A and B are shown apart, each in its own frame.
Chain A
Amino acid sequence: MGIKANIINKTALFITAVLMFLNLYLIFIWAPNEINLGISQRIFYIHIPLAWLGMISMFILGITSIIYLFTNNTKWDNLAKSTAEIGVLFLSLLLLTGIVWSKPTWGIWWTWDAKLTTTLILWFIYVGYLALRAYGPPGSQGARYGAILALLGIIDTPLIYFATIWWRTHHPELNIGPAAESTNTIDMAILQVLMFSLITFTFLYIFLLIEKYKLTQIETKTKEIINA
């Protein structure tokens, strides 16, 4: 790796680390306690960014897969593989933090609610994609099968987002975003911390994606050299 790339990498890591510590300060010291949910509401500040990036990741996976199907350029396939792996990480953490949060708020660890179930389906699509890429047909054929599976994920993502509107669920209604109802107002201090948390986790996501993408590129080139 070049010196310039190394400096960019270390700078990105440093910014992410600083933002993370600031984020922890805001979440635990600055943010007020929510009266109904109590201290457990602070899980919200990591749960929402994980959900947001888990779904964004699926969109990136779907779009890069479509571009790959049209161009047959391996760099898009490498980006798809990288984003799928990070998407699994974020979505797994989303499900785990959700399970931990649902116990003090709903009194149960898990329920087959529409939002939770569609999220679990997305997780299976991600895992299925990675399994297909690891053990499925090699080369462009495997990439094409993976791209088709990624399109299923794109269909599932809006289902997760609109689940609380389309079905009766345990999960709280949408408070932010384009589909949120105007009556569901969120306290300004809570919103500010949430926004900071979203930015911080997005930085972390970008850092991880760049790292993973670079490794995947090197891996592909190494395989090409060995096979040649």
Chain B
Amino acid sequence: MLKFLFLSLLLISVNLTSIDIIFADGHSQTNASIETISEEKQTNTQNDNGLIYVFIAFLITWIGFFFYLYYLSQKRRELERKINSIK
């Protein structure tokens, strides 16, 4: 499950470079037209640098949730053992 999630995130990350950019006033522009403007090219480089932080943030969140679900399942097993011993 975790491997699948990791691969999905990796594929999605590769896809991010072809996404439209939205401006504060709401209009959008494709990557093809951006490549002609040097200032916006710089913004793109900054965006690519931010990818690692996105990856880390999502990884931390998912590890947190999976760890908690694992903890709950362990607790459930422990309680079942206790109840069986009482019976």
- Mark A residues whose CB is within 8 Å of B: 24-25, 28-29, 31-43, 46-47, 50, 89, 92-93, 96-97, 100-101, 103-104, 187-190, 204, 208, 211-212, 215, 218-219, 222, 225-226
Contacts and interface: CB of A to CB of B under 8 A. Distances in A.
Contacts of A208: 68-69, 72
A225 B8 CA distance: 47
A92 B61 CA distance: 9
B53 A101 contact: yes
B51 interface: yes
A34 B22 contact: yes
A93 B60 contact: yes
Contact of B83 (A24, A35, A189, A222): A222
Contact of A39 (B8, B54, B61, B83): B54
A29 B75 contact: no
B21 A97 contact: no
B20 interface: yes
Interface in B28-52: 28, 43, 46-51
Given A189-B22, A215-B72, 9 more contacts: A36-B24, A38-B46, A39-B50, A42-B54, A43-B57, A46-B61, A89-B68, A97-B61, A103-B53
Nearest to A218: B79
B58 interface: yes
A41 B26 CA distance: 16
Contacts of B57: 43, 46-47, 96-97, 100-101
Nearest to A94: B61
